[in-house]
């Protein structure tokens, strides 16, 4: 109707009446007038034109109607999308609030690894991680494992999280997985210190390498007996390693581990490093999602080794600097602590299959006594746990006053079928670039299973020959190499620890390994891992790379590891740079304390002695730790950019997954 009335306004009517009149006139007149004919034709064509015009108008109107309808549909869709977007924002806001709540209650970062390899699960866990906060160990321990979110802060940068369409879920995790030391390691390789070519480059006190014996090793490894190229060395070997090498390893370990009876070559497996060995053992001893028990702080590379291939996680027994209960030294491993960690994990349904022992311990430098070793092994036997004993630093005990006891040297192993010992040449022979590690196990099932995986981790034939030659040369090892190596390690250790004493910095005074475990807590404004990270970055900005405690999953923020096995000129320059940072920090903290007297807790700081440090009181966090909102915002930005994420994460899905949040949101929307 509206249509026709509108058309009436547009189209003049007179044409119709003129035609009508003409027809009437023609009916009356019989005589044909040529003018009439012409008029008739004109009027007929005018009418046709008008009708055509009307049709076009009608079509245009219909089009307008369609457009209007589409516009309304679009508006409705836009409204819906806006609601979904609002809901996502609301959901993120709720997450932020919970993070803030946690950091206010002093929660620390979580310490368990993800249970499965589900990417979205890992992503959401990382998105929700506490990432630092204060060092409230009691609270951290009290939280159930299942509630402790994944702290992959050191391993994954949530800002990097963008699912690659080319990779599986597992591949995506490997893609974004960042080793705890990767950032510093990359920075170092991009800007290495060189006395002549790059004197302002980074000094590396972060990577656990012995840089004191290149002269001795390169000389020995280039002697003529090392160069053999016989056909068997150029062909596929036995995957467990050539027998000549396994025999040599068995003799070597029998001698240096002081085994009560000769160790057997058939129990030896060789592969390309202890890192690979951790992967292989975790894979053959645990199913995906199962766990291995380890005391923190520990060499962080193990996390990567056991998780990336085997999807095996770590359960932590937390050690701390306080000397309490039966402990007599800071960070002491006791059976009590192992029992507690195991029981907590079991209570939460986590299946723990094995215990990892590092002896000498990295980063603490502790050497376990025979009775301690026996206690740990008995504990494992009681709970039917395998024990993986990593003795990779066994020949790097540089002071005669300290005695190393290998598990292989014990008269009797409590559970020989579940005891597996590893060693390698990276550390003790200062050749981490030659990839070689070895496993000794009496359990032939374990040996065969690891042997199958050795296909992926083999050592090339010519290197197997060189290693056999090296291990065979007992005179050179004892008379030349170890003497020089130990003297050099001792001198370097003395230099660094003397510097630390001058600076008044507490540290653990040990005599094994390449590291000193240092207490820099007094240089943190607050007892948080964020502050620890800031200090770490400050060192790096001043061109000295250290490892911070978080990289070892230390439960107390503020501890750092320095590698001292380096040449004097680099030690001097590195310590100079460290001193500069610490002095600046001290000034800043003093200035801040003048402005805000609430900040630090002098009584809680550690004091040191020559032997070990003693911590009078645990430094409690004085201020709430900042949350990792920055990370969350980074993650949010990634999500916004990823259309895939937006499509998958609809309000309906949220409503199902998080009904409580959806409920609050709906009520708020209702009030708008």
Ligand X SMILES: Cc1ncc(COP(=O)(O)O)c(C=O)c1O
Chain positions contacting ligand X, by CB under 6 A? 208, 273-275, 299, 301, 358, 362, 390, 392, 424, 426, 432, 437
Distance of closest approach, residue 392 Cβ to ligand X, in angstroms = 4
Smaller CB distance to ligand X: residue 357 or 500? 357
Distance of CA 216 to the CA centre of its chain: 36
- Beta carbons within 10 angstroms of residue 670's beta carbon: 7
Residue 180 CB, nearest approach to ligand X (Å): 11
Which is closer to ligand X, CB of 440 or CB of 665?
A: 440
Contact partners, residue 226, CB within 8 Å, separation at least 6: 220, 465, 466, 469, 470
Measured from the CB atom, the residue of 273 and 451 that comes closer to ligand X is 273
Is the CB of 270 or the CB of 613 nearer to ligand X? 270
d(CA 234, CA 236): 7
* 131/275 with CB nearer ligand X: 275
Task: State in angstroms the smallest separation of the CB of 434 from ligand X.
Answer: 9
Q: How far apart are CB 274 and ligand X at their closest, in Å?
A: 4
Give the shortest CB-104-to-ligand X separation in angstroms.
Answer: 37
- Write the DSSP symbol of residue 33: P
> Which sign, positive or negative, has the C-alpha torsion 150, 153, 154, 159?
positive
In the complex, least distance from residue 378 CB atom to ligand X, rounded to whole angstroms = 23
Minimum separation from the CB atom of position 560 to ligand X (A): 16
Give the nearest residue (CB) to ligand X: 273
- Nearest by Cα to 339 from 361, 315, 359: 315
Are the CB atoms for 138 and 118 separated by under 8 Å? no
- Which of 188/523 has CB closer to ligand X? 188
Between 92 and 174, name the residue whose CB sits nearer to ligand X. 174
274 vs 551, beta carbon nearer ligand X: 274
Q: In the complex with ligand X, which residue's Cβ is closer, 341 or 425?
A: 425
What residue has token string 């800071």? Answer: 330
Cα(9)–Cα(23) distance, integer angstroms: 26
Q: What are phi and psi of 198, to 5 degrees?
A: -145, 70
Q: How far is the CB of 433 from ligand X (least distance, A)?
A: 9
313-318, strands of its sheet edge to edge: 268-271, 437-441, 419-424, 386-390, 352-358, 291-296, 313-318
Q: How far is the CB of 462 from ligand X (least distance, A)?
A: 19
What are residue 194's DSSP bridge partners? Answer: 198
Among residues 136 and 391, whose Cβ is nearest to ligand X? Answer: 391
Helix (H) or strand (E) holding 365: none
Chain-centroid distance of CA 638 in Å reads 19
CA distances from 455 to 82, 237, 251, 270, 301 (A): 55, 9, 24, 11, 22
In the complex with ligand X, which residue's Cβ is closer, 342 or 563?
Answer: 563
- If the CB atoms of residues 299 and 662 are measured against ligand X, the closer one turns out to be 299
* Residues pairing with 50 in the sheet: none
State the nearest-atom distance from the C-beta of 167 to ligand X, in Å: 25
Q: Which is nearer to ligand X, 289 or 301 (CB)?
A: 301
Residue 613: CB minimum distance to ligand X, A: 22
Angstrom distance (rounded) from CA 173 to CA 163: 9
Q: Find residue 545's DSSP bridge partners.
A: 204
Dist CA 296 CA 333 (whole Å): 9
DSSP secondary structure letters along 599-665: S--GGGS-EE-SS-EE-SS----SSPPPP-HHHHHHHHHHHHH-HHHHHHS-HHHHHHH-HHHHHHH
CB of 622 vs ligand X, minimal distance in Å: 34
Distance between terminal CA atoms of the chain? 40
Paired tokens of 288: 């995906």
* Contact status, residue 102 vs residue 626, Cβ threshold 8 Å: no
Q: In angstroms, what is the minimal distance from the CB of 555 to ligand X? A: 19
Q: Is 124 exposed, middle or buried (0-12, 13-18, 19+ CB in 10 A)?
A: middle
| Under 8 Å between Cβ of 630 and 348 | no
Nearest distance from C-beta of residue 554 to ligand X, angstroms: 15
The residue among 297 and 330 lying less far from ligand X, judged by its C-beta, is: 297
Q: How many residues does the chain have?
A: 672
Helix (H, G, I), strand (E, B) or coil at 519: strand
**What tokens were used for 601?**
């807790």
Give CA–CA dist 668/86, Å, rounded. 11
Q: How far apart are CA 513 and CA 493, in angstroms?
A: 10
Residue whose C-alpha is closest to residue 400's, from 481, 487, 477: 487
Nearer CB in complex with ligand X: 344/391: 391
Distance of closest approach, residue 280 Cβ to ligand X, in angstroms: 12
């Amino acid at each position: 109707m509206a249509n026709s009335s509108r058309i009436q306004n547009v189209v003049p009517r007179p044409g119709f009446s003129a035609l009508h009149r003409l027809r009437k006139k023609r009916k009356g007149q019989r005589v044909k007038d040529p003018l009439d004919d012409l008029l008739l034709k004109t009027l007929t064509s005018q009418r046709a034109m008008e009708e055509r015009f009307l049709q076009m108008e009608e079509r245009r109107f219909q089009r307008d109607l369609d457009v209007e309808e589409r516009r309304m549909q679009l508006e409705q869709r836009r409204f819906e999308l806006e609601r979904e977007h609002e809901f996502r924002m609301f959901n993120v806001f709720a997450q932020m609030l919970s993070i803030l709540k946690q950091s206010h209650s002093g929660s620390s970062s979580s310490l368990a690894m993800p249970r499965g390899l589900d990417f979205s699960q890992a992503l959401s866990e990382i998105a929700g991680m506490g990432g630092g906060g204060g060092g409230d160990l009691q609270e951290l321990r009290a939280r159930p494992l299942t509630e402790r979110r994944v702290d992959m802060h050191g391993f994954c940068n949530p800002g990097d999280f963008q699912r690659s369409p080319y990779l599986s879920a597992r591949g995506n995790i490997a893609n974004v997985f960042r080793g705890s030391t990767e950032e510093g390691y990359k920075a170092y390789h991009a800007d290495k210190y060189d006395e002549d070519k790059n004197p302002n480059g980074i000094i590396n006190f972060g990577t656990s390498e012995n840089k004191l014996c290149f002269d001795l090793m390169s000389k020995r490894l280039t002697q003529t007996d090392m160069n053999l190229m016989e056909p068997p060395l150029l062909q596929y070997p036995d995957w467990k390693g050539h027998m000549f090498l396994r025999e040599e390893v068995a003799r070597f370990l029998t001698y240096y581990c002081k085994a009560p009876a000769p160790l057997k070559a058939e129990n030896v497996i060789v592969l390309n490093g202890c890192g690979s060995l951790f992967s292989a053992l975790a894979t053959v001893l645990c199913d995906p999602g199962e766990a291995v028990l380890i005391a923190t702080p520990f060499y962080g590379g193990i996390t990567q080794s056991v998780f990336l291939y085997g999807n095996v996680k770590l359960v932590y027994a937390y050690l701390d600097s306080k000397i309490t209960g039966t402990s007599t030294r800071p960070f002491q491993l006791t059976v009590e602590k192992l029992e507690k960690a195991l029981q907590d994990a079991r209570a939460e349904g986590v299946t723990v299959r094995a215990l990892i022992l590092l002896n000498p311990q990295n980063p603490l430098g502790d050497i376990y006594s025979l009775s301690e070793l026996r206690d740990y092994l008995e504990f494992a036997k009681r709970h039917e746990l395998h024990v993986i004993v990593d003795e990779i630093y066994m020949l790097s005990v540089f002071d005669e006053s300290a005695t190393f006891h290998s598990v292989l040297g014990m008269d009797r192993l409590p559970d020989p079928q579940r005891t597996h010992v590893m060693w390698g040449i990276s550390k003790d022979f200062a050749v981490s670039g030659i990839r070689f590690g070895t496993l000794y196990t009496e359990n032939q099932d374990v040996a065969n299973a690891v042997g199958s995986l050795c296909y992926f981790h083999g050592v090339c034939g010519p290197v197997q020959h060189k290693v056999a030659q090296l291990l065979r040369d007992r005179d050179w090892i004892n008379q030349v190499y170890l003497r020089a190596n130990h003297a050099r390690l001792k001198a370097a250790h003395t230099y660094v620890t003397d510097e630390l004493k001058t600076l008044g910095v507490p540290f653990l005074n040990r005599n094994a390994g390449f590291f000193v475990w240092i207490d820099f807590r007094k240089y943190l404004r607050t007892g948080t891992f964020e502050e620890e990270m800031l200090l770490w970055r400050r060192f790096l900005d001043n061109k000295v790379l250290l490892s911070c405690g978080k990289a070892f999953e230390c439960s107390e923020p503020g501890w750092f590891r320095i590698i001292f096995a380096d040449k004097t000129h680099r030690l001097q320059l590195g310590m100079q740079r460290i001193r500069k940072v610490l002095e600046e920090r001290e000034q800043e903290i003093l200035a801040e304390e003048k402005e805000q007297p609430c900040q630090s807790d002098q009584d809680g700081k550690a004091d040191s002695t020559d032997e070990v440090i003693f911590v009078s009181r645990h430094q409690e966090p004085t201020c709430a730790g900042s949350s990792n909102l920055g990370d969350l915002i980074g993650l949010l930005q990634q999500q916004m950019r990823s259309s895939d994420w937006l499509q998958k994460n609809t309000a309906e899905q949220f409503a199902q997954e998080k009904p409580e949040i959806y409920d609050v949101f709906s009520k708020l929307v209702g009030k708008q």
